[in-house]
Amino acid sequence: MKITKNDVEKIAHLASLEVNNFKVDKFAEQINKIMQYFDKLKEVDLSGASFVSDVAFQTNVLRKDEKKKSPGPDTTLANAPEKDDDFYIVPRVV
């Protein structure tokens, strides 16, 4: 499948991106190289291949939840750059 400049412009429009003509040419070329690589990967014979890892067959080892006492605001706020009573002071985000 060959990606044209028109395809890149459509994708840029859908993604709300502004691209100039130089970048359209460059992106089309780069995407075509990636697509050629995928075509090469399709030719690889995997008939005798096996999984390299058995991650899919492992189960998670979880620890049991235990109720613990909170260390309290004196400990948790000890390294806070700024605090007000029992609260962290953080920069305002608007």
Q: Per-residue pLDDT tens for 2-37?
A: 899 999 999 999 999 998 888 999 999 999 999 999
Find, among 34, 37, 27, 36, the residue nearest to 7 by Cα.
Answer: 27
**Residue 35 belongs to some domain of the structure:** yes
Q: Is this model's pTM higher than 0.75 or not?
A: no
Separation of CA 49 from chain center: 28
Look at the chain and report how many structural domains it folds into. 1
d(CA 2, CA 29): 10
The reply to whether 92 falls in a domain is no
Q: Which domain holds residue 11?
A: 5-42
Quote the tokens at residue 16: 């709300």
Residue 32 belongs to a domain: yes
Residue 31 lies in a domain: yes
Q: Is residue 60 part of a domain?
A: no
Q: Where are the beta strands (DSSP E) in 1-94?
A: 83-84, 87-88
Residue 22 in any domain: the answer is yes
Phi, psi for residue 83 in degrees, rounded to 5: -150, 160
Is 80 domain-assigned? no
